[in-house]
Amino acid sequence: MRDPDPRTVVRAREGDLAAFEELVRLLQADAYAFAWHLTRDRTLAEDVTQEAFIRAFRFLKGFRGDQRFASWLFRIVRNCAMDALRGRTRWTALTGEGPERALTDATARIELDAALRAVSREHREAFLLVEVFGLSYQEVADVLGIAVGTVKSRMFRARKALCDAIADEAEADAR
C-alpha cells in the first residue's frame, strides 16, 4: 500500500487543499478497496470512502505522525464501514435480509471469496489488511486498535480456516 510523502501530509495538515487532494488521489483506490472488502457493497463502499476522507480532513491535525498515514486512514475507513454496516443492519432487522449479500464483483475468485465470507469479520479484516494491502502486524494493530499478538492470532486463524476450506473444496472436486 502506497504511503504519501510526509511533506504532503504536513502541508495538508496546515490547510493546503491541493496537498490533501494529493493524498486523496494516492489513497482513494486502496481506501475504496478496503471499504468494499468490509461492506461487500459497492454503493456502501463509495459512501464509506467519501465519509472516511471527510473525517480524515476534519481530524487531520490530530494525526501525530507516529504511524503510517495510510494506517491512520485505514482505521478511519474501518470505523466508517462499521458505522455504515450498523446503520444498514437497522434496515435489515425487520425486512429479514441477511447480513451476507451477493458478491458485486463478477471477476472475483469464487472459491476464495466464498471461503473469506465464511471467516469471521474480525479474522477477515486482519487477513485482508495483511494479504491484500500489505500492512505489517503492527500497522494492522494500529488500524484495528488491538494488540500485535492478537493480529498474529487472527491471521493464523483466518489462514487456517481458508486453507481448510480450500482443501475441502479440492477434496470435493476430486471425488
Partner 1 sequence: MRCQRAQPVLSARFDGEAVPRPAARAADAHAAACPDCTAFAEGAARIRAAVRIRSASPVPDLVDPIMASIATEQRRAPRDGGAERPPSAAWLRLERSRRQSPARNGAGSGRTLVAAAVIGLVVGSVAVGGPWRPAAEQPLAVAAVADHVRAAAASLRAYSATYAVVERGFLADVAERRFEIDVAFLHPQRFRMDVRDLTDYPSTAWTRTSLTYIEDSPATYRAGSEGCETFAHLCSTTRPTYERSTAYAGGMPLPIDLIVPIATFGSTDGIRVVDTEPLGATDAVHLVMSFERAGPLFPVLELGGTWRPFHRRDRVDVWLDAASWFPLRTTITPSEVPQRRDWEMRFGLPLEPADAPILE
Query: If you write DSSP's letter for every residue of 84-99 in order, what string do you get?
Result: HHHHHHHHHHHH---S
Neighbours of 124 (CB within 10 A): 19
Q: Are 41 and 99 in contact (CB under 8 A)?
A: no
How does DSSP classify residue 65? S
Q: Which is nearer to partner 1, 5 or 14 (CB)?
A: 14
E strand or H helix at 34, and its extent? helix 17-39
Q: Which amino acid is at 26?
A: L
Q: Which is nearer to partner 1, 10 or 108 (CB)?
A: 108
In the complex, the smallest distance separating the C-beta of residue 175 from partner 1, rounded to whole angstroms, is 18
Q: Are 151 and 144 in contact (CB under 8 A)?
A: yes
Cell of 171: 477434496
Q: Which is nearer to partner 1, 5 or 59 (CB)?
A: 59
Residues 6+ apart with CB under 8 A from 103: 40, 110, 113
In the complex, the smallest distance separating the C-beta of residue 34 from partner 1, rounded to whole angstroms, is 11
Q: Which residues bind partner 1 (CB under 8 A)?
A: 15, 17, 20-21, 24-25, 28-29, 32-33, 36, 42-43, 46-47, 49-51, 53-62, 72, 75-76, 79-80, 82-88, 90-91, 94-95, 104-105, 107-109, 111-112, 130-132, 136-137, 152-153, 155-156, 159-160, 162-163, 166-167
In the complex, the smallest distance separating the C-beta of residue 6 from partner 1, rounded to whole angstroms, is 18
Q: Which is nearer to partner 1, 5 or 105 (CB)?
A: 105
In the complex, the smallest distance separating the C-beta of residue 99 from partner 1, rounded to whole angstroms, is 15
